[in-house]
Amino acid sequence: MSNKLTILGISASLRNARRGLGNVDLINQLNSLDSKETLNAFLEQEAFSHLENFKVAGRTEKLPFDQMYTNLKKQKGNKGLSNSEVALASALWSAKELGVEIDHLSLSEYYTESGVKNEEELVQKLLEADGIILSSPVYFGDRSSLAQTFIELIRSNDKVKHSLKGKIFAGIAVGAKRNGGQETTLIYQLMDMLNVGLLGVGNDSETTSQYGGTGLAGDVGTMAKDSYGLDTSMGTGRRIARVVQMMNLGKDYQLQGKVRVQFWILQDKDGKAVSFINKLIEPHLEKIEPIIINVFENKIVRCIACDICPTHVDVDEEYRCIIKSKKDDFKDIHPNFLNSDAIIPVVYCPEDKNGLKSNYQNFIERTRYLRRGDYVMSDIITAPIVVEEVGVREHMDIRMITSLIRHHTIVSKPIISYVQNEELLNKTKIENDFEGLIETIKEVAKGRLIIYSKESDHLKYKPVGYVLSTVKDLEDEKLKKRNEMMLSRQENVSKMKADKLIRNAK
């Protein structure tokens, strides 16, 4: 066995082209490709080969699809790539380029029309993986049934669930239209993976840090033509590879002192969220340094969606939003966003909204300048806390996860507390989940201090679609402002590393 870290790519398409030794061949072929140009040529050829697979299976004769599908399964599975596999292969290639090992499997090998087959082999691959990329076609804005079966395997198998806890997950979705449900598919399966204990990432800063790979393929063999979708998939591969490597670096160190945790109280009524957080953190004050920001009480002016955001390139300490009104508190809050190990957004969701104070949406919108300022919060762990009266169903956990993952954070499962008649119904579970979250914060923080004390050049925000911002960015590059900002960020993290990290004795 290799000592390298392994990213396992999982295809959740019934139309997969690779099976058995065909999976091994694919990995060997991807490992042999030395440039994006050779990758694109390979993907085009494999997409064409899969179309030929369909022709051989009966597409030319216009056989009914069920007959074609049966004939496809009789093929060797050693050539071609389905649309989901094309996107996945591009992600695996870009992960490989960063120095991790890659592997590939197709779920249709294990979950067949006749039942479950060789599931032990699938389980073993999951146990050995350091990160997982799941690539699924879109069905009605959601994952495939194969992807669903895979998630149910994790939920029901304690050994697998325990092994995957704290490992990294990323997703790819391929739909027949550009807005064909790819994002909802990615969000739903991300939430499920978080809830079984994995940590989630999206695609990387080079592809504007969204929810993962989003492919467009309306017919067999067409995914290779979607350059944007391939770019987002490659960004997903790079993102998961970097985070897996970052986490691994921290294993040789111990973290001394407290982790610095931001609590954003975004929505509250009668101080119930504040009271909940104070009680939750009280037993852990020897481990965490809490920074509690009562945002719901602040004055937060709405974001005006500037074409140029932030106003200029400068060090992270500099407040760079154009809004500087005396009626706005964001400038005063800004220093709290720096040099933290975790971000915990908190909301209270009552059934009776009378007296509810919320700055949730205004505040989230205003963090735009932080994201566009080369991802100030990159690779910080985030886990929303929701205190919710039973039956409210505001889905604030999903909203907070989908907003914060776009800050290039690493997302952990939400902590949801249920309240009925002023009584906390799941107190023990909440306490256990929070204790586990503190340990996760520590593990992520160690690797982050090591990585960001050395380099963060890959974090440049690319203002896709914002013409004026692009022009302004080019001007700032000429002034070398961005380089100064990154050096300042690196120096700050280096100081924190010197204070907090101790290498393990050998």
In DSSP terms, 375 is beta-bridged to: none
Question: Which CATH number goes with the domain that contains 240?
Answer: 3.40.50.360
- In the predicted model, is pLDDT for residue 478 greater than 60? no
Q: How confident is the model at residue 1 (pLDDT cuts 50, 70, 90)?
A: very low
* Residue in 506, 34, 500, 67 with CA at minimum distance from that of residue 254: 500
**To the nearest whole percent, how much of the chain has pLDDT over 90?**
82
Q: How confident is the model at residue 433 (pLDDT cuts 50, 70, 90)?
A: very high
Q: Compute the mean pLDDT over every residue in the chain, rounded to the nearest whole number.
A: 93
* Residue in 64, 83, 86 with CA at minimum distance from that of residue 218: 83
Helix ranges (DSSP H) in 196-254: 227-249
**More confident site: 454 or 39:** 39
Q: Encode pLDDT of 272-304 as tens digits.
A: 999 999 999 999 999 999 999 999 999 999 999
- In the predicted model, is pLDDT for residue 444 greater than 60? yes
For 116, list phi and psi in degrees, rounded to 5.
-80, 135
pLDDT at 296: 96
> Residue 222 burial by CB count (10 A; 0-12/13-18/19+): exposed, middle or buried?
middle
Cβ–Cβ < 8 Å for 10, 133? yes
**More confident site: 467 or 99:** 99
Asked if residue 79 and residue 61 are part of one domain, the reply reads: yes
Is there a domain that residue 437 lies in? yes
**To the nearest whole percent, how much of the chain has pLDDT over 70?**
95
- In the predicted model, is pLDDT for residue 140 greater than 70? yes
In the Cβ-directed half-sphere of 379, how many Cα atoms lie within 13 Å? 28
- In the predicted model, is pLDDT for residue 465 greater than 70? no
Q: Which of 197, 230, 250 is the last residue of a domain?
A: 250
d(CA 339, CA 495) in angstroms, rounded, equals 10
Cβ–Cβ < 8 Å for 260, 289? yes
- In the predicted model, is pLDDT for residue 474 greater than 80? no
How long, in residues, is the chain?
Answer: 506
Q: Encode pLDDT of 195-207 as tens digits.
A: 999 999 999 998 8
pLDDT at 304: 94
Q: Which of 208, 234, 250 is the last residue of a domain?
A: 250
Q: What is the mean pLDDT of residues 347-363?
A: 97
Q: Which of 230, 250, 270 is the last residue of a domain?
A: 250
Is there a domain that residue 458 lies in? yes
Asked if residue 333 and residue 193 are part of one domain, the reply reads: no
* Residue in 227, 219, 233, 217 with CA at minimum distance from that of residue 178: 217
Asked if residue 174 and residue 159 are part of one domain, the reply reads: yes
Is there a domain that residue 349 lies in? yes
d(CA 97, CA 105) in angstroms, rounded, equals 20
Of the listed ranges 161-170, 225-234, 453-462, 484-493, the one predicted with least confidence = 453-462
Asked if residue 422 and residue 496 are part of one domain, the reply reads: yes
- In the predicted model, is pLDDT for residue 53 greater than 80? yes
pLDDT at 321: 96
Helix ranges (DSSP H) in 373-465: 396-404, 427-452
Q: Encode pLDDT of 208-262 as tens digits.
A: 899 999 999 989 999 999 999 999 999 999 999 999 999 999 999 999 999 999 9
Asked if residue 286 and residue 213 are part of one domain, the reply reads: no
pLDDT at 113: 81
Cβ–Cβ < 8 Å for 191, 401? yes
Asked if residue 309 and residue 243 are part of one domain, the reply reads: no
Cβ–Cβ < 8 Å for 456, 492? no
* Residue 97 structural domain: 6-250
pLDDT at 356: 97
- In the predicted model, is pLDDT for residue 125 greater than 70? yes
- Which residue's structure tokens are 């503190």? 438
Q: Report which DSSP code applies to 139.
A: B
